[in-house]
Amino acid sequence: MTDASTVTHAVRDFYRDMPFNYYSDAGLAADSVARNPIADYPDLDALLEEDEIETVLELGCGAGWASNSMAKHYGKSVTAVDFTAAALARARDVSGRLGTTDQVRFVESDLFEFQSPDSFDLVVSVGVLHHTRDCRAAFAHAAQFVAPGGFLFVGLYHLFGRRPFLELFQGIHAREGEEAAFERFRSCASTLSDETHQRSWFRDQVLHPHETQHTLAEVWNWLDEEGLSLVSTSINQYQDVDDRPALEELEKRCEAISWQRNRDENSYYPGFFTILAQRDEA
């Protein structure tokens, strides 16, 4: 699927049918946020503990787990953008249950059309930019909102880690049908709770109409072009990032790890990586 407006329409329609990370009821979603899922990203968690980070922009907030967590657990002021009305309705409902409505402003907009006179201390986008018509342009759009000295946290599908996952699940889907692929998915993604929640993840990760995959080497070049410096990445488990060539070699090993995890161990490894970067002060 290459035509830009076709991509945007297909992605909008896909999430209109069922948003991602969607529980059967808002109470379950609120319980999940109350357990603070951001702790799963230790570099973001540590950054959010800093008082200097006051304002956050989330692009593609979906049903709102990250925005509501950043408000609830870290006291941040969050602007949260998504173009899926049903996802935002759930995010607002959860926000009401958690008492974060004064801290989170939800905005229904295509992220490419979102504008702000203010920059932000932190811009977050998790699992979104690779579903847009142009991931590189979306990345630049996100980066422009990062204040001097501010941070950018992005999660994307990983070229090397993703291929085995897609080959495995799309193979089952083609040979045995959607329900067989869903059953295999459920058996490895065992931490997902109710069936609606599992289905929303399965659709997103196996049946999506449009995604692109990326490498750390590629995104590091984007950071250079946007005037940002890499701080940490999930590729090396958030260790230091001084040795760029070594890290770019390391990420290639994710393909073998993904085969082992997905095919041999039946453990969940969708092929996803994160980067945390900082803009220079000047």
Ligand X SMILES: C[S@@+](CC[C@H](N)C(=O)[O-])C[C@H]1O[C@@H](n2cnc3c(N)ncnc32)[C@H](O)[C@@H]1O
263: closest CA among 183, 167, 179, 198?
Answer: 167
By CB under 6 A, tell whether 95 contacts ligand X: no
Q: Which two tokens stand for residue 185?
A: 């998915």
Q: Is 19 in the site for ligand X (CB under 6 A)?
A: yes
> Per CB under 6 A, does 90 bind ligand X?
no
Rank residues 7 and 231 by Cβ distance to ligand X and give the closer one. 7
Q: Does 204 bind ligand X (CB under 6 A)?
A: yes
Residue 65 vs 169, nearer CB to ligand X: 65
Per CB under 6 A, contacts with ligand X among 162-191 are none
Place of tokens 């319980």: 31
Side chain identity at residue 149, one-letter code: G
| Torsion sign across C-alpha atoms 46, 138, 69, 233 | negative
* Site membership for ligand X, residue 251 (CB under 6 A): no
Among 32, 79, 84, 262, binds ligand X (CB under 6 A): 84
Q: Does 127 bind ligand X (CB under 6 A)?
A: yes
Rounded to 5 degrees, φ, ψ at 61 are: -75, -15
213 binds ligand X (CB under 6 A): no
- Which segments of 178-232 does DSSP mark as H helices, in order? 178-188, 195-206, 216-226
- Kindly tell me which residue out of 32, 69, 95, 132 binds ligand X, with binding defined by CB under 6 A: 132
Give the span between the Cα atoms of 195 and 231, in whole angstroms. 37
Return the sign of the alpha-carbon dihedral for residues 28, 46, 213, 278: positive
- Our finding on whether 94 is near ligand X (CB under 6 A) is no
When asked if residue 20 is in the footprint of ligand X (CB under 6 A), the reply is yes
| 88: Cα separation from own chain's centroid | 16
| Residue 234 in contact with ligand X, rule: CB under 6 A | no
- The contact set with ligand X (CB under 6 A) reads 11, 15, 19-21, 60-62, 65, 82-84, 87, 110-112, 126-128, 131-132, 204
